[in-house]
Structure 1
Amino acid sequence: MMDPFQAHCEMEVTLAVISGKWKADIVQILSDGTPRRYGFFQKILPEVTPKILTNQLRELENAGILTRAIYPEVPVRVEYQLTEAGTGLLPILEALEIWAQSYTKKIR
């Protein structure tokens, strides 16, 4: 992910944070506020490889969009949840979805 401090404008920061094939899906999955485990993402997104899923989750965590809570159990339990910044992305992603629906109707 691009360093947000090297962005030329705020839009570039937003696009850098959400760019990635699965990031919008991950944020959408977490949008109901329920903490989710890694295996849940694998079930919902069977097309994504474990390596890519892990990478996308780490990038979102590093960007402050989600948190990762580790519980010292056997086996270790790890849960992901949106932060306040992540929740702030939801209206943006919804607007992008509405635009995409309108756009695809026009170009078909």
Structure 2
Amino acid sequence: MLDNFFAKLPTDLSAEVFEKLAGNDTVTIERIVSNGQATPDGQWYDQTQHEWVMLLKGEATLEFEQGEPVTLTPGDYLTIVPHQKHRVASTSKSSETLWLAVFYD
């Protein structure tokens, strides 16, 4: 079924929106829509899978427990390895921030 990544964006962005686009038992592909959200202070994501993430719209800064903050702009992507603790420090407030995330073993 044909769809468009930039279409049908959620209207309520009071919280980040995570939408599964495709996947199976070992791979999940998500669209994440942010608008000024950040991971709460002191909270870290600690995932069991690899996460490949690309920023398609907006701007975001990721912080890593071990390492320097990374600011992403449209087209930037990176891989977060399993158990690499990270958090979203900031996302654009003036418009949506759109992420494409792929989680895999």
TM-score (norm 2): 0.30
Greater share of helix residues, 1 or 2?
Answer: 1
TM-score (norm 1): 0.29
Greater share of strand residues, 1 or 2?
Answer: 2
Structure scoring higher RCO (CA < 8 A, sep ≥ 6) equals 2
